[in-house]
Amino acid sequence: MRKFEKGKAYASAGVDIDLGNRVKKGLQEKVRTTFGPEVLGCIGGFGGLYRADFRGMKEPVLVSSIDGVGTKVKLAVALGRHATVAQDLVNHCINDIAVTGARPLFFLDYIGAERLDQSVFDQLISGFTKACKRGECAFIGGETAQLPDLYHSGEYDLAGCIIGLVDRPRIIDGSRIAPSDLMVGLPSNGLHTNGYTLARKVLLEKLRLDLLQNVDGLPKPLGEELLRVHRNYHPIIAAIPAGRIKGAAHITGGGLFDNLPRILPAGCDALIDTSSWKIPHIFRLIQRGGEVSRHEMYRVFNMGIGMVLVVSKLHTAEVLIQTKGKVIGQIVRGSGKVLLD
């Protein structure tokens, strides 16, 4: 029978409380830069405290979302670059509530790891903090867990929760979308946070490419290309005058096929003109290398469009100037489907 060092049974079993405390030392000072006067208390309490200000709102509505970054984490581990996936997580969560017209208030994270590593933890916190500051939301808390029985050595997983605020009369819900409206596509910054299981299978296993190598058609080494940070579209959406956007869809898992129907009212289809934008080379590389069908590519990946805004023809020119996006299709009569032209 294995004997545990006195007072170290939990550490011997794989969970080192002292290590966790050492790794998280100084965390308060790092995240305080994201605090505004609304944040009460400090990191490390049992709950994050945020004093909401509803002044000027007719009917304040809280909006929440939770998500992860999937197997993109495996690339961060392989390259030893972890701040990017932390930024991905914050931005992804912000976008998921931005489509309703909400502004982010605060963010909380979850890190589950085989064993805590000081360098990895510091990079993740740096990424969370950077993205929260840029996203104008507070990073008010989270959970860090050592789970040696769940993760292989050196592995970890991330999840994040965002809470935002919108005035009910200004909620963007797609209910006003009608045939003849146009769709404005905002460019993505690569794969963002979806499709990495297929991308890794094709690029690293089937084509046997190296993350450090330069690949024809890609402006950066393959690993850097795959770790491009998920864009935060909230500043763009927030700058557009109220009422201009009829519906907005964050193009994440499920691609254009599964995300646009979420905002389509009964009797409407989304007809996409796939020739209206240039497909980034990384997607073409995956499609050719994996012999992936066109339909599946548009269902797994964003294909270069990270956000779609639905606007009336009357306001399209104005929105195009403000967003620097492109018209990628129109709303037609139908039954809630996405059609590729």
Per residue in 318-336, pLDDT (tens digit) is 999 999 999 999 999 999 9
Crossing angle for the helix pair 83-98 and 72-79, to the nearest 10 degrees: 150
Instruction: Give the separation between CA 12 and CA 202, rounded to whole angstroms.
Output: 39
Whether residue 6 has pLDDT greater than 70: no
**SS3 per-residue string spanning 49-81:** EECCCCCCCCCEEEEEEEEECCCHHHHHHHHCC
Coil vs helix vs strand at 178: coil
Structural domain range at position 233: 182-340
pLDDT at 10 (0 to 100): 62
Domain edge (last residue) among 121, 146, 170: 170
Residue 203: partners with Cβ closer than 8 Å, 6 or more residues away:
209, 222, 226, 285, 286, 289
Identify whether residues 192 and 274 lie together within a single domain: yes
Coil vs helix vs strand at 272: strand
Domain edge (last residue) among 116, 148, 170: 170
Coil vs helix vs strand at 329: strand
CATH of residue 298's domain is 3.90.650.10
Whether residue 29 has pLDDT greater than 90: no
Answer whether 138's CB lies under 8 Å from 106's CB. Answer: yes
Answer whether 144's CB lies under 8 Å from 43's CB. Answer: no
Our count of domains for the chain comes to 2
Mean pLDDT of the chain: 92
Instruction: Give the separation between CA 90 and CA 86, rounded to whole angstroms.
Output: 7
Identity of the residue numbered 311:
V
Mean per-residue pLDDT for 104-116?
94
Q: How confident is the model at residue 61 (pLDDT cuts 50, 70, 90)?
A: very high
Torsion 148-127-282-79 (CA) sign: negative
Answer whether 30's CB lies under 8 Å from 126's CB. Answer: yes
Question: What's the CA dihedral at 37, 43, 48, 54 to 10 degrees?
Answer: 10
pLDDT at 178 (0 to 100): 97
Question: Token digits for 157?
Answer: 């997983």
- What Å distances lie between residue 235 and 94, 181, 301, CA to CA? 10, 23, 23
261 within domain boundaries:
yes
Identify whether residues 220 and 94 lie together within a single domain: no
Q: What is the pTM assigned to this prediction?
A: 0.91
Domain edge (last residue) among 170, 191, 206: 170
Mean per-residue pLDDT for 77-91?
97
Identify whether residues 229 and 292 lie together within a single domain: yes
Beta bridge partners of 143: 110
What is the DSSP code (8-state) at residue 173?
-
CB atoms within 10 A of CB 291: 8
Identify whether residues 191 and 84 lie together within a single domain: no
Question: Token digits for 31?
Answer: 């995240």
